[in-house]
Amino acid sequence: MYNPFDYFDTTKKSAWNLRDAFSAYQKSVPDLSITQQLTRFHEKLKKENDNITDSWLSNWNSFCKKTESYQPASADTSSSIFNINMESSTNNSCSFGTVSNHYHNKYKKRGPENDDLENAPTKKHNSEITSDTVEVNEQLTHLEADQLADLETDQLADLETNKAVIINSQDDIWACWKLHLNDNSLHKYSLERLGIIQIGNKLSCPEYYSIELYNLLIYKPAPLINPISNNSEIFDRIFDLSSNKELMSRQLHQITYEEKQDPQVFMVAAVIEIFIKTIFADVCVTDQESNYSHYVIWPLLDAIVTTVNNLNFHCGEYRLKSVDKELSRRSICSQHYKSDGCISTVIDNTRIELAILEVSGPYKLDEQSRFTKDHIKAGYGLIAMINEIAYLYKYASFDIFTKVRLFFIHAKKNKLRLWSFEMPAPGLYILNLLNSVIIPDNCASCELPMESLCVELWNLRAMLQQTLITIDNLRESHIVNQRIYSRAHRQSPDLVPTLLTDALRINPQVKLDKDYLPADDELAINSSLF
């Protein structure tokens, strides 16, 4: 396996001694980022060695670029079994286990698509999952060593053989997923071709996924807040009159101004009023998508945004700024992406897009090809949105960046699907189905579906608030790291920083080039919720 410390064979310090020196130094400053460790280690060596040559300093630049993909070997790394406790790397989100220390992890910036692995790993595994370990039997006998170079990890060496690999770490999982998704047999418009893994609540494992890897994507739902049960003394009286929408409406208007100062009460009251005035009043939302959006979907999202400071909701044919900027970086100005709505914020006079909406036709329309096209289209837009955040705060910590969650709201048939989107590892994304809730059409039996809808809308509101906090942390990290690098650069002009943009896929597709996609089984998203 290639070792970045080999760059120093021509210096007066051997590669082996330098590796040990840096490994020891890392242990002495574990709280520093890899960029800070490299900078301070560099300064330490310069102080201790007055005779360091210009050649050594030029090699330092290459060393910095390679070190992020190197982990000093331990006594156990020669084994095909990786004994790492996965339980310590989980979080409280409702998606999956987190990834730690990715700023110096084993991945490098993804190369062009035609440089990817030519042979995909087999998709059939006979391993058995236990509470502590899982064996993923990969038949990779045709993979050459240079085809694994872009991963640059000692732990993946065993994938070149028929040995079983024990996976207990998130890093190992993402490495296997990256190999697993390099499959040219996937559908042309499959989101997996973009590095997107689709998981979620009651979402069945696609047949082209490894069931073992799929089951390792930990789903830990965060505790949900029920705004209706929290204010049952107000809303029970309203739902008791649901058999008569006129009486229900009168009771709704009995809610006082003081009670509506509670955001939960305000949002639920707004949601109930939307339905009383539209679907329960037989407004024509089943005829046209524009009517359904105008009377129902847009007001529902606006009820969330209204109660959160610094959030904006854009309705109608909203032109996604993130896609415009992504294409502009490639000098493409003739294409654009229009969503049916967007939730954004403005920080330092810059608009940041946090959630996109796609409405697949009027209420209760059942047209699978339309659902498929909007779902795929949204995946492309989400990549552009998260990429734009990386470009905006490129000096920030990747650990913080993995906590940034964007959202996709999809209205299809008589349901609303809520998805989250995040980047857990370089070149990989998670599109996670949070839930799918019914849009009720009967006033007399609306209490349960209305309650479920309000729970999910309030949960979305809470997650958007958390995303605002995370982006603020990302901004602070960017400012601090940029300052550290600028000062280190004065002493070492050849020092190159590790940027968030290094973790992005190169020139990902962000604009669907089709107006129509057939209802292909390979693109279907199967769930008992749908």
Mean pLDDT of 12-31: 61
Could you tell me which of 97, 341, 343, 110 has the C-alpha nearest to residue 199?
A: 97
Amino acid at 393: Y
Secondary structure of residue 428 in the 3-state scheme: strand
Q: Which helix (H) or strand (E) holds 345?
A: strand 338-347
Mean pLDDT of 424-433: 93
Q: For helices 245-252 and 232-239, what crossing angle results, to 10°?
A: 160
Q: Given this model, what pLDDT does residue 103 score?
A: 28
Q: Given this model, what pLDDT does residue 333 score?
A: 72
Confidence of residue 220 (pLDDT cuts 50, 70, 90): confident
| Domain housing 240 | 229-494
Domain tally, the chain: 2
Contact between 303 and 270 under an 8 Å Cβ cutoff? The reply is: yes
Distance of CA 307 to CAs 267, 270, 474, Å? Answer: 8, 11, 24
Mean pLDDT of 25-51: 70
What contacts 267, CB < 8 A, 6 or more positions away?
Answer: 227, 303, 304, 307, 454, 457, 458, 461
Confidence of residue 132 (pLDDT cuts 50, 70, 90): very low
CA distance 434 to 525: 14
Confidence of residue 87 (pLDDT cuts 50, 70, 90): very low
Report the percentage of the chain scoring pLDDT > 90.
46
Whether 272 is in a domain gets the answer yes
pLDDT greater than 50 at residue 6: no
Q: Given this model, what pLDDT does residue 456 score?
A: 96
Confidence of residue 511 (pLDDT cuts 50, 70, 90): low
Could you tell me which of 84, 291, 113, 293 has the C-alpha nearest to residue 195?
A: 113
DSSP secondary-structure letter at 297?
A: I
Whether 138 is in a domain gets the answer no
Secondary structure of residue 236 in the 3-state scheme: helix
CA distance 108 to 205: 28
pLDDT greater than 50 at residue 509: yes
Q: Given this model, what pLDDT does residue 416 score?
A: 97
Q: Given this model, what pLDDT does residue 86 score?
A: 33
What contacts 94, CB < 8 A, 6 or more positions away?
Answer: 219, 220, 221, 222, 420, 432, 434
Distance of CA 320 to CAs 110, 315, 325, Å? Answer: 25, 12, 9
Confidence of residue 113 (pLDDT cuts 50, 70, 90): very low
Q: Which residues of 106-144 are buried (b: 16+ CB within 10 A; e: fewer)?
A: bbbbbeeeeebbebbbebebebeeeeeebbbbbebeebe
What contacts 415, CB < 8 A, 6 or more positions away?
Answer: 436, 437, 438, 439, 529, 530
Whether 466 is in a domain gets the answer yes
**Pairing outcome for strands 338-347 and 312-319:** antiparallel
Distance of CA 205 to CAs 188, 307, 527, Å? Answer: 19, 36, 9
Q: Outline where 342-446 has alpha helix (H).
A: 368-392, 398-401
Whether 530 is in a domain gets the answer no
| Weakest mean pLDDT among 212-216, 356-360, 412-416, 441-445 | 212-216
Q: What is the mean pLDDT of the chain?
A: 75
Name, of 16-20, 92-96, 339-343, the range with top average pLDDT. 339-343
Secondary structure of residue 321 in the 3-state scheme: helix
358 CB burial (10 A radius; 0-12, 13-18, 19+): buried
Residue at token pair 């999952």: 129
pLDDT greater than 60 at residue 18: no
Q: Specify the higher pLDDT residue, 383 or 5.
A: 383
Q: Given this model, what pLDDT does residue 327 score?
A: 84
Name the region of 433 (left: φ>0; alpha: ψ -120 to 50; beta: rest): beta
Q: Model's pTM, two decimal places?
A: 0.69
Could you tell me which of 374, 389, 390, 373 has the C-alpha nearest to residue 340?
A: 374
pLDDT greater than 80 at residue 247: yes
302 CB burial (10 A radius; 0-12, 13-18, 19+): middle
Whether 448 is in a domain gets the answer yes
> For the segment 144-197, what is each residue's pLDDT rounded down to a tens digit?
333 334 433 444 444 444 445 566 677 888 888 888 888 888 888 889 989 999
What contacts 412, CB < 8 A, 6 or more positions away?
Answer: 360, 361, 365, 371, 374
Whether 463 is in a domain gets the answer yes
Contact between 505 and 427 under an 8 Å Cβ cutoff? The reply is: yes
342 CB burial (10 A radius; 0-12, 13-18, 19+): buried
Mean pLDDT of 505-526: 59
Secondary structure of residue 361 in the 3-state scheme: coil
3-state secondary structure string across 114-180: HHCCCCCCCCCCCCCECCCCEEECCCCCCCCHHHHCCCCCHHHHHHHCCCCEECCCHHHHHHHHHHH
pLDDT greater than 70 at residue 366: yes
Secondary structure of residue 426 in the 3-state scheme: coil
Q: Given this model, what pLDDT does residue 187 score?
A: 81
**Residue 470, Cβ neighbours under 10 Å: how many?**
18
Question: How wide is the angle at C-alpha 35 spanned by C-alphas 34 and 39, nearest 5°?
Answer: 115
pLDDT greater than 50 at residue 140: no
Question: How wide is the angle at C-alpha 305 spanned by C-alphas 301 and 309, nearest 5°?
Answer: 175
Whether 454 is in a domain gets the answer yes
Number of H helices, E strands in the chain: 14, 9
Token pair of 321, please? 């700024």
Mean pLDDT of 397-420: 96
Whether 174 is in a domain gets the answer no
Contact between 438 and 413 under an 8 Å Cβ cutoff? The reply is: no
Mean pLDDT of 332-356: 91
> For the segment 232-244, what is each residue's pLDDT rounded down to a tens digit?
999 999 999 999 9
Contact between 48 and 493 under an 8 Å Cβ cutoff? The reply is: no
Bridge partners, residue 125, by sequence:
none
CA distance 1 to 158: 11
> For the segment 449-492, what is each residue's pLDDT rounded down to a tens digit?
999 999 999 999 999 999 999 999 999 999 999 999 999 988 88
